[in-house]
């Protein structure tokens, strides 16, 4: 009987070990699923950076002709009808130039083509019939912009001429893998705007523009590829994360990348439910940014899969916890039965 009891105990422990191996998520030094996710993340980052580079190249070709002349730019103006009118002039801090016969002209904010047209029209009024004028920007003013946050080479950049958002991101080496797809362009008030602004509102504040990179580089909404001004700051925040733990196959923190992610998608990022998981008892723990009590949101994944439950959108820094199902309780009860059986066998063997 003793031998029979030992065999029974060994059999039960073997079954319990096999069951725990099959159901408990393991932390492995190497996981194919994790490696695939890493590769996919790298591919996505490379794809978005390739689009940023291509967009920067195409926008740079268009920006040259649309460049708005500013203070300290050096202009080369040629009039084919009279070489004496040819002149190289630097734009004053007020945005003006001085030309023979024409006197003071305001050119700030105009393109080279617009200055050509204005000079041609003024000369045609009094001096020449159908004059030919060419304006060439010989030297661009030096400007300074900052590209900060989740880019490969954050820094302050000295640039000449006009650059766009995509060109700034390309100069900074592109996005890191953990970069958000929502970026911020922070524009301090211009010196010439400050005086007027103070008079009207007595308060001067920077303006912030939110740019969705998916709309810009994937959907080709080029209106978002804003032209940068001196002092602009391009800030690329790190993407928020959602944390998934408990009985999932690959628990951990996962970047949201500026997108809306639901609880079922977050669990999918973690490899899905483990065999021992209780999908009906999932909990989302949410911590307010500015104090307040922790919020707990119950979720039933099985009902969501059936289309009956609400697939809640997770926020940055939410914690999704998947509990164990009732199978473990079954084995605990079974162990109690075996223990009583062993005690009964032992008592029977006592002489």
Q: What does the pLDDT look like over 240-263, one tens digit per residue?
A: 888 898 889 988 888 887 678 999
d(CA 290, CA 146): 29
Which two structure tokens, joined as six digits, stand for 114?
Answer: 């617009």
Tens digits of per-residue pLDDT, 260-297?
A: 899 999 999 999 998 888 999 999 988 776 556 778 99
CA distances from 8 to 4, 13, 338, 344 (A): 6, 9, 8, 13
Closest CA to 253 of 269, 275, 276: 269
Query: Looking at residue 284, what is its pLDDT?
Result: 92
pTM, two decimals, is: 0.56
Angle, CA 350 vertex, CA 347 and CA 351 arms, to 5°? 145
User: What secondary structure letter does DSSP report for 100?
Assistant: T
Answer yes or no: are the C-beta atoms of 267 and 248 closer than 8 Å: yes
As a whole number, the mean pLDDT across the chain is 77
What mean pLDDT do residues 53-63 have?
57
Q: How many helices (H) and strands (E) does the chain have?
A: 9, 15
Per residue in 145-193, pLDDT tens? Answer: 999 999 999 999 988 777 889 999 999 999 888 888 778 998 888 655 4
Q: What pLDDT sits at residue 172?
A: 92
Rounded average pLDDT over 82-98 = 90
Residue 26 pLDDT more than 50?
Answer: no
**Which CATH class name applies to 240-351?**
alpha beta
Identical fold between 46-67+142-236 and 240-351: yes
Q: How far apart are CA 240 and CA 181, in angstroms?
A: 11
Q: According to CATH, what is the number of the domain 46-67+142-236?
A: 3.10.560.10
Residue where the block lists tokens 């580079």: 53
Compute the distance between CA of residue 128 and CA of residue 134 in angstroms, rounded to an integer: 15
The residues spanned by each domain of the chain are 46-67+142-236, 74-139, 240-351
In CATH, 74-139 is 3.30.1950.10: yes
By DSSP bridging, strand 233-236 and strand 142-149 are parallel
Which of these, 251, 233, 227, 226, lies nearest to 241 by C-alpha position?
Answer: 251
């Amino acid at each position: 009987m003793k031998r029979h009891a030992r065999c029974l105990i060994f059999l039960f422990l073997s079954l319990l070990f096999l069951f725990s191996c099959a159901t408990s998520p393991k932390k492995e030094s190497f996981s194919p699923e994790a490696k695939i996710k890493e590769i996919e993340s790298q591919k996505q980052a490379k794809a978005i950076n390739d689009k940023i580079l291509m967009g920067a190249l195409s926008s740079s070709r268009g920006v040259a002709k649309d460049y708005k002349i500013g203070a300290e730019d050096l202009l080369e103006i040629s009039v084919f009808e009279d070489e004496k009118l040819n002149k190289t002039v630097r734009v004053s801090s007020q945005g003006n130039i001085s030309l023979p016969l024409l006197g003071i002209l305001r050119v700030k904010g105009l393109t080279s083509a617009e200055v050509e047209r204005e000079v041609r029209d003024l000369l045609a009024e009094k001096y020449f019939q159908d004059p030919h004028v060419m304006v060439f920007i010989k030297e661009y003013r030096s400007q300074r912009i900052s590209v900060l946050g989740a880019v490969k080479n954050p820094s302050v950049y000295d640039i000449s001429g006009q650059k766009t958002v995509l060109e700034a991101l390309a100069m900074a080496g592109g996005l890191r893998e953990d970069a958000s797809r929502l970026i911020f362009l922070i524009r301090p008030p211009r010196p010439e705007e400050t005086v007027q602004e103070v008079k009207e509102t007595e308060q001067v504040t920077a303006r912030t523009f939110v740019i969705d990179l998916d709309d810009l580089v994937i959907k080709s909404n080029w209106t978002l590829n804003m032209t940068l001004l001196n002092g602009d700051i391009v800030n690329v925040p790190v993407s928020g994360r959602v944390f998934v733990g408990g009985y999932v196959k690959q628990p951990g923190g996962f970047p949201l990348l500026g997108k809306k992610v639901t609880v079922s998608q977050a669990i999918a990022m973690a490899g899905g439910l483990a065999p021992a998981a209780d999908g009906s008892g999932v909990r989302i723990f949410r911590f307010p940014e500015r104090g307040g009590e922790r919020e707990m949101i119950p979720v039933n994944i099985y009902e969501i899969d059936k289309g009956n439950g609400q697939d809640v959108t997770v926020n940055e820094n939410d914690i999704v916890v998947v509990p164990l199902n009732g199978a473990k309780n079954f084995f605990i009860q079974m162990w109690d039965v075996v223990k009583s059986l062993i005690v009964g066998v032992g008592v029977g063997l006592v002489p």
